[in-house]
Amino acid sequence: MNPRRIFLIAVPYLWLLALFLVPFLIVLKISLSDIALARPPYAPQLDLSAGWNGLRSFFAALDLENFVFLTTDDLYWKAYLSSLQIAAVSTVITLLVGYPMAYGMARAAAEWRPTLLMLVVLPFWTSFLIRVYAWMGILSGEGVLNQFLLWTGLISAPLTILNTNLAVYIGIVYTYLPFMILPIYAALEKMDDSLLEAAEDLGCSRTTAFWLVTVPLSKAGIIAGCFLVFIPAIGEFVIPSLLGGSGTLMIGKVLWEEFFSNRDWPVASAVAIILLLILIIPIVLFQRNEQKQREAEG
Amino acid sequence: MRRFSWFNATSLTLGFAFLYLPMIILVLYSFNASKLVTVWAGFSTRWYGELLQNEEFLDAAWVTLQVAVFSSTLATLLGTMAASVLVRSGRFFGRTLFSGMIYAPLVMPEVITGLSLLLLFIGIGLDRGVFTIVLAHTTFSMCYVSVVVSSRLSSFDRSLEEAALDLGCSPFEAFRLVTLPIIAPAVISGWLLAFTLSLDDLVIASFTTGPSATTLPIKIFSAVRLGVSPEINALSTIMIAIVTVGVITASLITKRAAVAQQRDEQAAIRSV
């Protein structure tokens, strides 16, 4: 190995070790510690000056107490379940909104496609916070949507949408829609149209051909899109805290409050560890889907 | 032949209306004279004037810009290095861990990244402020940069670089004169991605900052928590305008660069 290569590997490697892996191990360690009235507010502290005995007593003081606490308090498992449920429901809605759009884009004339693609990507570059905030003015009691609906006479009293789970669904669908459209579009765009013609020649109606040919061929895109929405939605913080109400339980918000309001670092860390354990399953499934797709493309 | 049906046209129209109407409404209401964001009281640029006199927002914008420039530049350097390691270094000790650490931050919830970095900074006794936000942003955006750059690197014809080496270039010269110009569009879009990620980030910055540094998203978040505010509408409009102009310009430039580069690459291959 020449020095240049070692340098090239070592710099990003050490950076990630120091600022990704080590912080993660610290979270793991603090999740096994106890809350203490000290600075920093947890115990035990690792004291290397005490030598081997210090190390031993340090490990002896670590326990799973915080994790036990998470199972005894209803708040936490309800928050995990409700995060999963909100993420799942929003993913399905995003798919229902995103698929027809991706399909329309793939059917559009070739010279229009780059423009349409840019229109999908553009909101992604716009601040996430601002896109969520935009809905606050639309969904509130005297908001644009209620004013419009009252004006049309469809409703006689304003609807309560802001600060409910419905607003959270709208927020997630809105902000993550590009993540759903792009992989589905990529799959549909390279589809061979002669397959559809063949299906129709063989007696399929257009609708049947769509369900039997188009949808299965875009399956990899659908799966990728769903995971790209589902995975980040579980740990979402901004959307539930701006659009959700006091009844909206999501684990990202719980972790934030545990840390900033309750100042209980060990419990916040335990919440984070469990959240990661939950996320591992969809992440592994997502990776497997990507791998399969790469292999299929050769 | 592809048939573009009424169904396709309707779903695209409704879909894009859904994507763009909220932002259009936000922009319209930023020109509303009334303090009540829900009542239209005529056209006014009053909120822009008030915004530009608000020192706190200007300070926050300055901090955000500093953080974004430093972190995206650092992230581009580290991310490009990481990409070349991923694509070209073959096997080395700890490679799996390395690629794991590149991909994991992409799927890591922001609250966890923020929490873990904060605990690190406290653990080593680092004063929190602009510097710690830069460290945090660099760490997650370098992973995005390396994904963008490595996809470009893996499609790159290595024989061009080998030719440069054969013709007497040092490895560094070969990189600077041959590889870098070819991967430049990916490096630039990596930088832009890192820059916008940093401008955008609320959660990680909130965890890793101290009392001395408030970024724009933190400021916006604390202002809108209590409800819609006309000043924030004005600020959002400015940000949307900058992004729109930026993205359109960037896409035009990269399109032109990609065409020119393809031509050069093909010319080089033909002359070999």
Average pLDDT for B159-175: 86
Angle at B197 between CA B193 and CA B199, to 5 degrees: 115
A47 phi, psi to nearest 5 deg: -120, 100
CB A23 within 8 A of CB B120: yes
CB–CB contact A11 B78 (8 Å): yes
More confident position, A54 or A244: A244
- In this predicted model, what pLDDT tens digit does every residue of A88-121 receive, in sequence order? 999 999 999 999 999 999 999 888 898 899 899 8
Print the SS3 string covering B128-159.
CCHHHHHHHHHHHHHHHHHHHHHHHHHCCCHH
A35 pairs with which residues across the strands?
A: A42
B59-271 maps to CATH 1.25.40.10 = no
Look at residue B1 in the predicted model and tell me its pLDDT. 46
- In this predicted model, what pLDDT tens digit does every residue of B62-106 receive, in sequence order? 999 999 999 999 999 999 999 989 888 778 888 889 988 998 888
- In this predicted model, what pLDDT tens digit does every residue of B96-150 receive, in sequence order? 899 889 988 888 899 999 999 999 998 888 889 999 999 999 999 999 999 999 9
B190 membership: H or E segment, kind and range: helix B180-200
Q: Across the interface, which of A126, A237, A265 has its CB nearest the CB of B240?
A: A126
Which residue do the tokens 């995103």 mark?
Answer: A98
Q: Across the interface, which of A130, A140, A177 has its CB nearest the CB of B19?
A: A177
Name residues whose C-beta falls within 8 Å of residue A75's C-beta, 6 or more positions apart in sequence: A249, A254
Name residues whose C-beta falls within 8 Å of residue B64's C-beta, 6 or more positions apart in sequence: B198, B199, B215, B216, B217
Rounded Cα distance between B210 and B207, Å, is 8
Look at residue A49 in the predicted model and tell me its pLDDT. 65
Residue A142 in this model has a pLDDT that exceeds 90: no
Residue A298 in this model has a pLDDT that exceeds 70: no
Rounded Cα distance between B35 and A297, Å, is 56
Residue B37 in this model has a pLDDT that exceeds 80: no
Q: Across the interface, which of A21, A128, A130 has its CB nearest the CB of B101?
A: A21
CB–CB contact A126 B111 (8 Å): no
Query: In angstroms, what separates the C-alpha of B111 from chain A's closest C-alpha?
Result: 6
- Report, in this order, helix, strand and coil percent for chain A, each rounded to 5: 75, 0, 20
- In this predicted model, what pLDDT tens digit does every residue of A228-243 receive, in sequence order? 999 999 999 999 999 9
Query: In angstroms, what separates the C-alpha of B77 from chain A's closest C-alpha?
Result: 9
Rounded Cα distance between A163 and A244, Å, is 4
The whole domain housing A111 covers 66-297
What is the length of chain A?
A: 298
Q: Across the interface, which of A125, A174, A276 has its CB nearest the CB of B112?
A: A276
CB–CB contact A118 B247 (8 Å): yes
CB-CB neighbors (< 8 A) of B5 in chain A: 107
Give the pair of three-digit tokens for residue B189.
């879009």
Look at residue A1 in the predicted model and tell me its pLDDT. 60
CB-CB neighbors (< 8 A) of B229 in chain A: none
Q: How far is CA B168 from the centre of its chain?
A: 37
Average pLDDT for A28-32: 89
Look at residue B142 in the predicted model and tell me its pLDDT. 96
Q: What CATH number is associated with residue A134?
A: 1.10.3720.10
Average pLDDT for A128-143: 90
Name residues whose C-beta falls within 8 Å of residue A276's C-beta, 6 or more positions apart in sequence: B108, B112
More confident position, A81 or B255: A81
Across chain A, what does the average pLDDT equal?
88
CB-CB neighbors (< 8 A) of A48 in chain B: none
Total domains in the fold of chain A:
1
Banded pLDDT at B179 (limits 50, 70, 90): confident
CB-CB neighbors (< 8 A) of A174 in chain B: 18-19, 22
Print the SS3 string covering A159-175.
CCCCCCHHHHHHHHHHH
Banded pLDDT at A48 (limits 50, 70, 90): low
- In this predicted model, what pLDDT tens digit does every residue of B212-249 receive, in sequence order? 889 999 999 999 887 778 889 999 999 999 888 988 88
Burial class (CB in 10 A: 0-12, 13-18, 19+), B41: exposed
Label residues A54-79 b or e (16+ Cβ within 10 Å = b).
eeeebeeeeeebbbeebeeeeebeeb
CB B221 within 8 A of CB A128: no
More confident position, A230 or B261: A230
- In this predicted model, what pLDDT tens digit does every residue of B192-203 receive, in sequence order? 899 999 999 999
Rounded Cα distance between A184 and B15, Å, is 15
Which has the closest alpha carbon to B209: B109, B106, B126?
B126
Domain boundaries, chain B: 59-271
CB–CB contact A174 B217 (8 Å): no
In whole angstroms, how far apart are CA A62 and each of A31, A45, A59, A274?
A: 9, 10, 5, 17
Rounded Cα distance between B8 and A103, Å, is 7
Rounded Cα distance between A38 and A263, Å, is 12
B157 phi, psi to nearest 5 deg: -80, 110
CB B229 within 8 A of CB B184: no
